[in-house]
Structures are given as structure tokens and as C-alpha cells.
Amino acid sequence: MSATIKGLGFSDVEPQPGFTATQDENGGWTGRHTFAIRRTAWANSAVRGRFVKGVSITALDPGLSPYWSFMKTVTREVTSEEGDFSMVTVTLSGGEGATYDDEDLAADTEPTYRLSGQLQDSPLSLHPKWTALSDIEKNGLGLLIRGQAEYDLPTFKVGLYSVEDEVFNAIKDSTGAEIVMDADDAKAFALRIARGETTYLRPVLTWTESTQGSGGLTNAQLNKLGNISTPRGSPPEAAGTRDWMLTSAFQETRGELVTTDLEWTLSEKGGHDTFLYEQPA
């Protein structure tokens, strides 16, 4: 080490052997490099200024290949060593190019993809068996869920009990017909609601694309949030005419390295509502 710092001046910064750079699976780079300075030199603002966040590593160490110019400083650590000098270690990060080209991935982007499934507590109205019920049955079940009516098991009717008359009065729909749970599934829902069950565990599948580069999400990507959208990366296909919606966008910048996550959520059978969620032309 002493040979490396021989003749080190007060404002000198001497690169040390051992520069490292690691590329992760998403294409982003992180690294470290160490420099020797005189122990009292850190009090010099000009020396400190050479290690501020965002400085290219090739500006600090011109002896490195110009290829590494995209690697920029993120953090700095000063360690006092034996003798009259200190070691300054910087962490580095960077991406070789932009992540996105408008709506598509840039040519050199190396994304990773992740499929995730979990159970989510959801209202009974989202259950596949609910969609097959008649509108009258759905309205009646809605009254039960909101506590605006009661279910009479012997007659399968929806209405209100009169305590004074000890009579069950069925509620009528707009045509004057009493609301009756005719379908077996409607009766099963009504029984569960009567027991206080108004939700069920619904499987939710998401598909996530993770990338790293020197640029973040584009306007074209962000404009798709909340719209039906086909994910990249060939996600598994589900039966029942389902489709995907872009439901989450995440971006984090650390130094010059930008990490992005885009997440799509799979619809129930029949797909998302195109009236509400189809991307405008």
C-alpha cells in the first residue's frame, strides 16, 4: 500500500487496485472503488467535492476504460489507515441505456418476470356464481348485505318482519312481484349472508416485470395504468376469456440506476369491463 501512495500530495486522489462492477439479472450495474488521500485532505472542500453523488467513476479514475463512464457514485465511506492517509471507498451504480423505448422495452433491457398468486378478501358480488343470478336476486341479496331486509327461510323471500303483527312482509320489485330467491345459488348466498358472511377469499393473480437502466418509466407506459393491457414476457394463459390490466407502476432511483416494476392483474372470467377500462384510442 505504501508504494501506491508514495509522494501523495495534500489535494491528490490516488485510485487503488480492486475496482469491481457487478451486473445483476435485470441489467443494472453496481460496484465499488477505493482511493487514497492524505488524512488531512478530507478537510479540503475541493477533495470532498470530487466524491459527491453522481460523479462518473471515469472522472475519478481516468485510468479505467471509458466504457465505465455510466457508473456514478452513490455513497462514500472514509476510513483512516495507519500512517498519514485515509481510504475513500465509493459505491457505484448505473445502467448502460434507457429502459424503455416509448411503450416497448429498449433493445438492451434485460427484464425479469414474476407470477404471484394470493387470496384476497372480496365482496360476494365478485364471486363467479353471483354473475349467473337474476337481477332481482342480486338486488335482494344486496338488500340483505346492507341490512335493509331479512331473509325468510321457509318462503325464500326477502322482506321485513313486523314485530307488532308477527308477520313477514316480502319486499316487491319495480314490477310489483315479491323478491324471491329462486335459484339454488341465490338461496345459498342468502343463507351465508344471514349468518353474517358477506365476503369470500378470491384468488388474485399478478404478473410483474422488473427492469433496471438509466431511464425510468415513459409517459406511454404510465398512460396504460388502469387500462386493459397485454403484459410482456408471455404470462400463463388462463381459461374463461380473461385479460390483464396494468394495476401498479413502481420506480426507484439509486444514484444513476433506475429500477422499475410494472404489475398486471388477471381479470375474472369474462374479462375486465371494456367500457370502464379499455385504453382510449
What digits encode the pLDDT tens for the residues 137-181? Answer: 999 999 999 999 999 999 999 999 988 878 999 999 888 899 999
Together in a domain, 23 and 81 = yes
Q: Are residues 155 and 195 in the same domain?
A: yes
What pLDDT does 6 receive? 61
Residues 219 and 178 in one domain: no
Our CA angle for 231, 237, 243, nearest 5°, is 55
- What would the pLDDT profile of 34-69 be if each residue is shown by its tens digit? 999 999 999 999 999 999 999 999 999 999 999 999
Domains of the chain: total: 3
The pLDDT score that the predictor gives to residue 2 is: 40
Say if residue 76 is in the same domain as residue 60. yes
**24 and 128, same structural domain?**
no
- Tell whether 229 and 107 lie within a shared domain: yes
Is residue 109 domain-shared with residue 217, that is, in the same domain? yes
Beta carbons within 10 angstroms of residue 110's beta carbon: 16
Query: If you search the block for the grid coordinates 479514475, which residue do you land on?
Result: 61
**Segments forming the whole domain that contains residue 53:** 14-94
* Residue 94 and residue 74 in contact, taking contact as beta carbons nearer than 8 Å: no
159 is written with which cell numbers? 322482506
C-alpha span between 115 and 16 (Å, rounded): 43
6 domain residue, yes or no: no
Domain ends where: 51, 78, 94? 94
- Are 111 and 242 in the same domain? yes
| pLDDT at 237 (0 to 100) | 85
d(CA 83, CA 37): 11
Contact by Cβ (8 Å): 178, 160: no
C-alpha cell at 220: 406511454
Residue that terminates a domain, selected from 178, 199, 220 = 199
The model's pTM is 0.75
182 shares its domain with 216: no
Stretches where the chain sits below pLDDT 50 are 1-3
Residues 150, 222, single domain; the answer is: no
- Is the distance from CB of 35 to CB of 46 less than 8 angstroms? no
